[in-house]
Structure 1
Amino acid sequence: MSEANLLYVDTHSFHDLAVKGRRVLLHVPSTGIFDLDEVTREVLDFVRPRSTVSFEELQQRFLERESPELVADAVEDLKSLGVLRSDPAVPDHGPGISVTEFPLSTIVLNVNTGCNLSCTYCYKEDLTTPSKGDKLSLETAKQGVELLLREGAKRDRVNVVFFGGEPLTNMPVIRAVTAYAEQRCREEGKGLDLSLTTNATLLTEEIVDYFNEHRFGISISMDGPQAIHDKRRKTIGGKGTYEVVAAKTRMLLSRYTSRPVGARVTLTAGYSDVALIHHHLKDEIGFAEVGFAPVTSNPVTTFNLVGDELRGVFESMKALGRTYVEAAIAGENIGFSNMHQLLSDLYEGRRKALPCGAGVGLLAVDHKGELNLCHRFTGSELPTFGNVASGIAKAELGAFLEHALDRSERGCSTCRIRNLCSGGCYHESYANFSDPHSPVYHYCELLREWVDFGIEAYLEILEKNPAFLHRHVANRSSEL
């Protein structure tokens, strides 16, 4: 059999699934989603178990049953997608590029390592009380802003994020940096977004009005109804914080008009009823969106979701996702951030070479002015990548990112969601395996199932109410 008569089958370039009577194909390299007609479906099923297929085999199998033109079209479609190839398929080892530029869009300023709470599951290694915390100086913060403007010179908009500890324990620096960043962005002709995550306990009407005036994006850390929240989110003295957080949040939501306010929920072992938590925070407290972060890598392993309980969380998220789809078809947005993000990735056809923007579009500044991969690494033992005074250590950061881009030694090279996941969170991998480049193998299969669920949800909404996707999913980044 001649080479010219032979086609190679790349089983790692596609993933197909049945969705309510339809067969659809996820094109792994591009993350595009395609409907399969009957003939293409039959051709795909025929070639799938093979490493190679010849034209004679295709003719023998199909031409007596199907129109030659339809079969030829199906083969050409599969060739255009790389499912059928003229050369042997190889695993996706990544783009194999050198990283020499770091076009920042976001700088995270860790304004105080101190926090007025003592949440039992907190991952921050440098956390202490507010009075003992290491506060970011105004001069260091200004240098961080200048680094952002310098490295993000080609960006039309830049983002300054205030983080902690509890960032509201250093409001003087937040106010001063806000004024400085606004002035410098006006001078540079750039748009500016400001945001922070807070536990809400220190909010006052005056602070809320200040944030409203400057259009901060605000996210509140809150874990659900009182019985759940108070179990994990405590004061330094061990008292639950639900009552004060709920009261301060309601005050915030009654006064804040600039942007929608979201809740960030940390799910831990024993407290993982997603629907109950979402209902309380969205419908009873009044958040615009609720997002869930399952804990799987806490040093205190009793908090970690593992095994059946972790699977139960994903099943619970899918159940809430089905409610999301039903509401979306009716034109209602129930504010489930995890579904929003998943649908946004599918809608935009995002193709990720890296798991997130850490190190490329984002760096985090600690109190020493050191540049950390992201806010989760401040205080950790992972080496930093330069300083706001001296700039980015580009050789070291480039080497880190090039290692992350190299899939040759990882299961990611053949995974069907490799361009939607790209290995998962660096910090989660670092906490679990002491290696920020290790894929999150402990729940890879659950992530694959979550993406399959997202494809089904996306297609159903696209069929029954596409206006929802245009209104809420396409504009997600501008809404929040």
Structure 2
Amino acid sequence: MIHQYQNHGYNIVLDVNSGSVHVVDKIAYDVIACLERQNPSHTCGTLESPETLEGLVKALPGYPKEELSEVLEAVTELVKAGQLFTEDIYEDYIDEVKQRKTVVKALCLHIAHDCNLACRYCFAEEGEYHGRRAVMSPEVGKKALDFLVKNSGNRRNLEVDFFGGEPLMNWKTVKELVAYGRELERRYEKHFRFTLTTNGVLLNDEVQQFVNQEMDNVVLSLDGRKEINDRMRPFPNGSGSYDLIVPKFQRLAESRNQEKYYIRGTFTRENLDFSKDVMHYVDLGFQQISIEPVVGEDSDPYAIRESDLPRIFEEYDALAEKMIEYERKGKGFQFFHFMIDLEGGPCVAKRLSGCGSGTEYLAVTPWGDLYPCHQFVGDEAFLMGTVDSGITRPEIAGEFRSCSVYSKEKCRKCFARFYCSGGCMANSYKFHHTIHDTYDVSCEMERKRVECAIMIKAALADHAEDES
């Protein structure tokens, strides 16, 4: 499978199955497109036959036969090297992935089903998650960590995210659970990687010191420019949160040497010019940045619609150009959705099955219920068990384990499938009532982000070559 596109003046060819990326001139771009149209399953033998060259001469009369012959020879070498027109070898791994025993490596601890903000788009209903306000007790949290260790098999590295609502509203329990985790590390030869997601309202010097000592990563929620953030992330009384939290986030980012954190925003239909919000983060001094599209019902005024996609694509292009400009000036920053590994990438299982929700990754409510991930919390159909009983409905894990880029017909035809691994299963369920589908609007954005990410790599490599 081949994907070709032009962006920022570059002719880019992606061989989907091998992950090989080729930046080519116009004649090579046209030859590869022609070969793909004529016969997408090429072998070296068919490429080297005289009929192939004659077919190119007829299909591309604007190019001299000698030049077409040279390009065809180069393409043939790439095919022989396994870098173009490669076969899909990954589907054979699906049965192996399905048969894997559930080995949990990560928990999302809902340390507080409560929040001190009233974000307009919050899927968690100000922390309530379709249920009741509550905070996790140390006892439930310790049982969750015990469950993780017990079900982690031979995995040494385990992950725990303190989530909410707002986890700092139950800060004492967070600290107690981190201390308990460190005890378990010594007892069972495990290593906990703790992370925290916070809106920053209760962030102070004591919290910052502890976070820097114990948390491997911190997610800081801010929706960009002051007017955008205060409209979407107000306090319950309607006042804005920007002025309070921005200085705290700046201090925390600096105290972590601009590493191991993300400033994370959400863009909606009300700020489709979100590239300006990203650059606002940069102006504030942040270097690790993420901004996610909101997911909402069509009836929600802030929800992104299919008709918004052209504008969103323009914003991703504008952001990509800014990133190239800043990187060339030595002022580069990271944007989560443009981070792409063209050499290694995720393991095969990750490419095929995604985030691991329902199998490797589970969410825990304040009272100890287990769900496939935080977005399923409160939906009894996905209640998998409890920290006391363990997983009592293994069929749910089995259903999530069977979900892959090959169980979704849309993914089979998509060039970006090995980068997004099939997309968010919760969004699929939200819009199609099955985890074996995709949220189409999100898919369109993901394809655009992959194209921009690859183009950025090409532009920066081009710049480095010019500088050498």
Give me the TM-score of the superposition, normalised by structure 1.
0.81
Distance 2:405 2:323 in 1: 36
Q: How does 1:457-476 map to 2 (within 5 A)?
A: 457-465=456-464
Q: Which residue of 1 aligns with 2:123?
A: 123
2:51 counterpart (52, 57, 69): 57
- The C-alpha deviation readout for 1:317-364, integer Å capped at 9, x for no partner, is 32122111222234332233322x3x2x43533451123232343211
- AA at the equivalent of 1:27: D
Structure 1 pair 42–366 and aligned structure 2 pair: CA distance change class (3 A): same
Deviation at 1:365, TM superposition (A): 0.9
2:2 counterpart (14, 17, 24): 14
Structure 1 pair 346–394 and aligned structure 2 pair: CA distance change class (3 A): farther
Q: Which residue of 2 aligns with 1:78?
A: 79
User: 1:27 and 2:45 equivalent?
Assistant: no
The answer to whether the 8 A contact 1:100-1:395 is kept is no
Q: Which runs of 5+ in 1 are unaligned?
A: 1-12, 467-480
Deviation at 1:277, TM superposition (A): 1.7
Q: Which residue of 1 aligns with 2:385?
A: 386
Distance 1:223 1:84 in 2: 42
Structure 1 pair 226–382 and aligned structure 2 pair: CA distance change class (3 A): farther
Q: Which residue of 1 aligns with 2:179?
A: 179
The answer to whether the 8 A contact 2:405-2:422 is kept is no
**SS of 2:355 mapped into structure 1:** coil
Structure 1 pair 278–348 and aligned structure 2 pair: CA distance change class (3 A): same
Q: Which runs of 5+ in 2 are unaligned?
A: 58-64
Structure with more relative contact order (C-alpha pairs < 8 Å, separation 6 or more): 1
Distance 2:328 2:34 in 1: 36
Distance 1:114 1:146 in 2: 24
Distance 2:173 2:147 in 1: 17
- AA at the equivalent of 1:392: I
Distance 1:362 1:304 in 2: 28
Give me the TM-score of the superposition, normalised by structure 2.
0.82
Distance 2:326 2:307 in 1: 29
Structure 1 pair 30–387 and aligned structure 2 pair: CA distance change class (3 A): farther
Deviation at 1:162, TM superposition (A): 0.3
The answer to whether the 8 A contact 1:92-1:413 is kept is no
User: 1:354 and 2:353 equivalent?
Assistant: yes
- The C-alpha deviation readout for 1:200-227, integer Å capped at 9, x for no partner, is 1112222222222324522211112321
The answer to whether the 8 A contact 1:94-1:407 is kept is no
Deviation at 1:28, TM superposition (A): 1.1
Structure 1 pair 277–382 and aligned structure 2 pair: CA distance change class (3 A): farther
Name the count of aligned residue pairs.
Answer: 446
- The C-alpha deviation readout for 1:378-437, integer Å capped at 9, x for no partner, is 223441223222333574244223441263552211211121123311222222333333
**SS of 2:436 mapped into structure 1:** coil
Q: Which residue of 2 aligns with 1:474?
A: none
Distance 2:244 2:56 in 1: 70
Q: Which residue of 1 aligns with 2:410?
A: 411
Q: What do you get for the CA RMSD once the two structures are aligned? A: 3.5
User: 1:248 and 2:248 equivalent?
Assistant: yes
- The C-alpha deviation readout for 1:101-158, integer Å capped at 9, x for no partner, is 23333211101111122111100158349xx622222222112212222333433422
Structure 1 pair 240–62 and aligned structure 2 pair: CA distance change class (3 A): closer
Q: Which residue of 1 aligns with 2:262?
A: 262
Structure 1 pair 279–240 and aligned structure 2 pair: CA distance change class (3 A): same
Distance 1:261 1:72 in 2: 47
The answer to whether the 8 A contact 2:427-2:439 is kept is yes
